[in-house]
Chains A and B, each alone.
Chain A
């Protein structure tokens, strides 16, 4: 069956704006909350034009208080609304940590389903855009460690819109991480209207038989480039975009690793306690005896994200990824 779907060329940030617009029109319970998201349309323009279209009640500028408006969002979610909250940068989410950890993620459990929190928290994350300090954090693992919240992270415009809509439709809290480095770096065709990418499903970006390269978000373009360049050396990488960081798609990992027997995991977050370790655990549990080499992780260092003058050294790049690929191949 083929249905002609109208598409539009969009950047990742435009796809997010279009997803929010689609859901504001589709469900009257959807309300957007955050700092500078109204008239200003958000510091990255994710909500550009939406307050004009839907009014101040549905696209709400909040006081500058992450704990306050995430907490208020919980109260609204429990009372019939679907809040989509913008945290200006992931590095500014920490005042709301308590509200997320002690309430958003466990109200369903505390009340055995009587009260639930269908809320989305959107946050741009990551380094590589010469941003001031604390604007570059990639601390997704703090949230994947919390039971009761799902964490998603698209790498491209198509997935960004589909995952956002799926997140808003999900009955539980979702942290939706936006790779700010990729906001405007590429354009692609994005369907108009409503469609969803299933939460918990990764995507195979390139097929290959030699090494599985697993990444997500802002590291995807770099992982893809490294994989492309390895072809010159005759190494065929299979590149997987996890898209969801909790619950991770373990089947896509197991299937690929059982085929290649070699794995390189790439993320810009710190190594210790990072999601790469969860991927290693999945490989251990599902594919231990298929491995031909110990899996490699290419990650940010166990140092605070440095000032941007140093960030090119902190962030994983093609050189480090290619080095890791050669290492698992030569083991």
Chain B
């Protein structure tokens, strides 16, 4: 079956374009904007791990290695589209326009972090695996019923494909031709369980056959493939042709979360040694160098800008007002029930807070 779903690739690990039909479409500006985003989210990711180690945020889910999948797919979206990320797609959410301060607030235990900037349709990170897949189907169907050209993207990992909600969501979307892209990042491990223990099938893309929708398997570390294939899937969605399942084959170099030790279940040295070949940023760097577009001063500028942006967000996150206990009660219902009103008043009286 994997023969029927070969991994699509535009740029090989040496930074050579192997699908010549894309040569014209890959402009210097496009490539440079990809590179900038890849660097930006990797720097954020590394910084977030360090913040967790210092006790400045809570448990954090890193995505190093998956940057091309997240950047390519997020940049393919239009501003009015919907994004349904999981807890590992804050890179994609950031690229799509989420507030970095809010992303940090989320990882620091604050609900404020789930609120996207005005006009941005970004759902809070999906925590129970695969449950966001039906939401994306429903939100996309709503766009279709309103007669817009907006689409939705739902992210999920390889493990999510074993859940019932994966099937129920994709089946629902395929029946009503909802404009949605199901974007799987197959990083080959669901915490500690490798893909061969997760599923009998050799690919995730082949699961699309069951729904009679396109299933595409791509090199998730090639930002060009990710971008152009997501763009195509979104275009299909906007034209009323329904959903697409994309399997972006990738790898996470680090742990599942900062509470996880991958050395317990896989050979981290082997993972590290593959890096020269698989790292999505090194790959684009090679292309830029091949094209004579790589300029160290420009890279330093990008890094300096990203560092400044990240530091600003951290400062804002740390200067954020402390959690107001009233907020526990204020957003359960539009109007609090008597139970919530009583519990709130009693607790705030006890702690000397002011009821808001």
Contact = CB atoms under 8 A, between A and B. Distances in A.
Contacts of A67: 134, 164-165, 168
Contacts of B111: 109-112
Interface string A37-74: 00000000000000000000100101101011111111
Contacts, number: 136
Interface stretch (A19-27, A100-108, A180-188): A100-108
B284 to A, nearest CB: 34
Interface string B257-297: 00000000000000000000000000000000000000000
Contact of B172 (A63, A107, A148, A172): A63
Contacts of B82: 79
Interface in B118-147: 123-124, 127-128, 131, 133-143, 145-146
Interface in A165-184: 171-172
Of the four ranges (under 10, 10 to 19, 20 to 34, 35 or more), the interface on chain B belongs to: 35 or more
Contacts of A246: 337
25 contacts: A63-B171, A67-B134, A68-B165, A68-B171, A71-B169, A72-B141, A73-B138, A74-B135, A75-B134, A75-B141, A76-B138, A76-B141, A79-B142, A79-B143, A80-B146, A81-B145, A95-B164, A98-B128, A98-B165, A102-B128, A111-B111, A116-B334, A150-B333, A246-B337, A250-B338
Nearest to B126: A103
A206 interface: no
A75 B124 contact: no
A111 B124 contact: yes
A273 interface: no
B116 interface: yes
A234 interface: no
Contacts of A109: 111, 331-332
Contacts of A115: 123-124
Contacts of B334: 108, 113, 116, 171-172
A247 interface: yes
A102 B123 CA distance: 14
B115 interface: yes
B98 to A, nearest CB: 13
A171 B336 CA distance: 12
Contact of A74 (B138, B143, B168, B339): B138
The 3 closest A-B CB pairs, nearest first, are A75-B138, A71-B134, A68-B168
A41 to B, nearest CB: 20
Contact of B333 (A60, A110, A112, A148): A148
A294 interface: no
A248 B145 CA distance: 37
B131 A75 contact: no
A75 B337 contact: no
Nearest to B336: A247
A112 B115 contact: yes
B76 interface: no
A114 interface: yes
Contacts of A110: 111, 114, 124
B165 A71 contact: yes
Given A63-B171, A75-B135, A103-B135, A108 B141 contact: no
Nearest to B171: A63
Interface string A74-86: 1111111100000
Interface string B34-77: 00000000000000000000000000000000000000000000
B112 interface: yes
Contacts of B137: 68, 71-72, 75
Interface string B15-34: 00000000000000000000
Contacts of B191: none
B175 interface: yes
Nearest to A60: B176
B138 A79 contact: yes
Contact of B138 (A72, A113, A116, A150): A72
A73 B169 CA distance: 11
B327 interface: yes
B172 A65 contact: yes
Contacts of B175: 63
B151 to A, nearest CB: 12
A275 to B, nearest CB: 13
Contacts of B133: 71
A247 B339 contact: yes
